[in-house]
A and B are shown apart, each in its own frame.
Chain A
């Protein structure tokens, strides 16, 4: 049975808000509904909890769920700068758009953005053993997508109307691990140094399918073409993109 608690965050500073969230989790609350959120930063920062869901009604401020380890956060609005920053475990669903540096340095967990995101999406995501971060973007992204990626999966579904999935430069610059899957065209000149296109295989399709399914389920999307269409698969040309720049004294 769901043990639910509603917090009215109108005019509330983020510190007391997070205190209430932590206290609720400690009391065994499994569903925390935050109403009247209006720009509070750091919601759910460093929060632990396995079966906890936070529902954000309103626009959260920057660094949403940074360092979070376990809970699920659902935002019924757009999100600001860097949701899922250095996320460890857990899921974030954003019913709208998100700002720059989404899922920055994320090391595990999943972030789903229904619409578009800003610059530097998924920058420096990394994986280790069973922790493989996943970022799914519904429409399109701005420049510097997946730069310095060291691991994880970054999927852009390209659902934007009359809008390519990405039409700015610096895609995957310095990538040395992980994969990008982008539905639609990605001209070669947008790829950064160290990134290269790879074949999109059936294994790749199977790999990304569960995340597309989760996206569709959460956002109520029924578009079979998301499973059938070709994706541009981009990965590292080398695990050591910078090795060729240096020599020893």
Chain B
């Protein structure tokens, strides 16, 4: 039954006095918002996704954009989104898919955690004149060290150390597959990560040949579809990550629609062109924690125990107990992805409503692992909505070893978080495989944006640490005493194991 159209989301306007008819807006918008007729650029606002590409490329700043030019009658319960989802489903009868991370206006716990700094009694440290240790090792740490003294008086380490990843900073780049994002985007991220001596994930899309030069800085993923997975792939990675779940859509699998599977994606994933790439919800060889342990060991055995194996799960209610199970499975790190984690495509109802915030998950996992005396068995990598160096610092103080950044890394490449990733027409050349669009990212230039971002955040973290009188990331990890909760209730403070602002030390 027709119910007419919903109001346009955006209104685009051009200041005719400023416009010089260069047509860059027409060239840059793949959605067809602009067209020229005579001496005028005509605008079809309904096509706009709010991606800002035209605004960024207009040499005269002639374009302005208004969000929600016509809004619905305001109502505290019936938001625009709630109403429009109903109109959509009333006409389709289907599951609504969306892109990017959680779009509900849920409180950010990170914003209600405040960091500490030294005053008078304990001097702060200036990272300019003192060494600051941000190097992070991801992997198992021995419970104790056995050493041997040689007759010459040298000390030999007898304990056999498990392989660890040596990262120059506690920031890594999250798994985003070739297919979900373009090869040029992946190349920029990989080179940026390598430049900063850190790592990036391949996602479940295989490892394209042109990424081989960066393989020592890549973590290869094995997910339920096993796309692109063979022994060569496993051996190339610096580490292997088993993806069980994802914060944006815990408990369900993923489908890369056939239209995104072009020749290049097809070759890397090892599936026929234009066929759907379906990753089932569970791994069908993992139906229990014992089966998970079998896959972890199988991967280690196949790669001769030379590589750390991570297990990634979505932060769900029982995250702490699951992480403890993972810690006992021979895995070297557990990755927890909070409910604000991003994605190329997820059902709206999952993206916005399933899972728990990463802040609570980190604290719960760290506490459980400590309680069971197995915190040394795994590193904890946190992800899902990390926006800046303050979030990184707070995540580490809550108990994480390191973080993954996904959306933030894409924003460094120009992404404006318009959330239309699923359209496959990303004007920034990120979430698309269309050649004219992917060509908008030159990896030889754009990698610098990625490395700049990580570099800048790393500098900020060392300043924050120095101000708090901490000179090593190890002394920050799980140091909840350097956090205070501001306007957080007692229950959440107790889960976080953080005192309220104003509390005595």
Q: Which residues of A contact B (CB under 8 A)?
A: 14-15, 18-19, 22, 41-42, 45-46, 48, 62-63, 66-69, 81-82, 85-86, 88, 101, 104-105, 107, 120, 123-124, 126-129, 131, 147-148, 150-151, 174, 176-177, 239-249
Contact = CB atoms under 8 A, between A and B. Distances in A.
B88 interface: yes
Contact of A123 (B234, B235, B284): B284
7 contacts: A66-B302, A105-B225, A150-B271, A151-B271, A240-B276, A245-B95, A246-B96
B475 to A, nearest CB: 36
A66 B276 CA distance: 24
A188 B264 CA distance: 39
A249 B95 CA distance: 9
Contact of B284 (A15, A104, A128, A243): A104
B270 A131 contact: yes
Interface residues of B, number: 47
Contacts of B92: 247
Interface string B363-405: 0000000000000000000000000000000000000000000
B226 A239 contact: no
Of B92, B99, B225, B298, which is in contact with the most chain A CB atoms at under 10 Å from its CB?
B298
Given A63-B294, A147-B284, A15 B272 contact: no
Of the candidates B89, B301, B304, the one having the most CB atoms from chain A within 10 angstroms of its own CB is: B301
A248 B294 contact: no
Given A86-B229, A88-B231, A247-B95, A128 B272 contact: yes
Contacts, number: 141
Contact of B230 (A107, A123, A248): A107
B422 interface: yes
B456 interface: no
A108 to B, nearest CB: 9
A176 B275 contact: yes
Nearest to A106: B226
Contacts of B295: 63
B298 A85 contact: yes
Contacts of B305: 15
Nearest to A87: B230
B260 interface: no
A66 B270 contact: no
Contacts of B348: 249
Contacts of A129: 272
Contact of A46 (B226, B280, B302, B419): B302
Given A63-B295, A126-B226, A128-B266, 6 more contacts: A151-B272, A176-B276, A239-B275, A239-B276, A240-B257, A241-B276
Interface string B154-177: 000000000000000000000000
Interface in B179-229: 224-226, 229
A106 B235 CA distance: 18
Contact of B97 (A48, A128, A248): A248
Given A107-B230, A124-B225, A150-B278, A249 B298 contact: no
B303 interface: yes
Interface of B: 85, 88-89, 92, 94-99, 224-226, 229-232, 234-235, 255, 257-258, 266, 270-272, 275-276, 278, 280, 284-285, 291, 294-295, 297-298, 301-305, 347-348, 419, 422-423
A19 B304 CA distance: 8
Contacts of A174: 278, 280
Contacts of A19: 304
A67 B300 CA distance: 12
B49 to A, nearest CB: 11
B297 A41 contact: yes
Contacts of B235: 46
Given A67-B230, A150-B271, A239 B280 contact: no
Contacts of A249: 85, 88, 96-99, 348, 419
A184 B232 CA distance: 40
A177 B272 CA distance: 10
A128 B268 CA distance: 11
A15 B297 CA distance: 10
Q: Which of A18, A86, A123, A148 has the most CB of B within 10 A?
A: A86
A143 B172 CA distance: 42
Nearest to B422: A248
B293 to A, nearest CB: 10
Nearest to A105: B226
B276 A126 contact: no
Given A105-B226, A240-B258, A242-B255, A41 B294 contact: yes
A241 B277 CA distance: 11
Contacts of B419: 249
Contacts of A107: 226, 229-230, 270
Nearest to B98: A249
Nearest to B277: A150
**Most B-side CB within 10 Å, residue of A68, A82, A131, A249:** A249
Contacts of A69: 230-232
Specify which of A18, A22, A244, A248 lies most central, judged by the most chain B CB atoms within 10 Å of its CB: A248
B275 A246 contact: no
Contacts of B89: 247
B228 to A, nearest CB: 9
Contacts of A148: 278, 280, 284
A111 to B, nearest CB: 14
Contacts of B275: 150, 176-177, 239
Contacts of A239: 258, 275-276
Contacts of B347: 246
A126 B280 CA distance: 13
Q: Which 3 residue pairs of A and B lie closest in terms of their CB atoms, listed nearest first?
A: A46-B302, A105-B226, A247-B94
A245 B96 contact: no
Contact of A243 (B225, B226, B257): B257
A48 B304 CA distance: 13
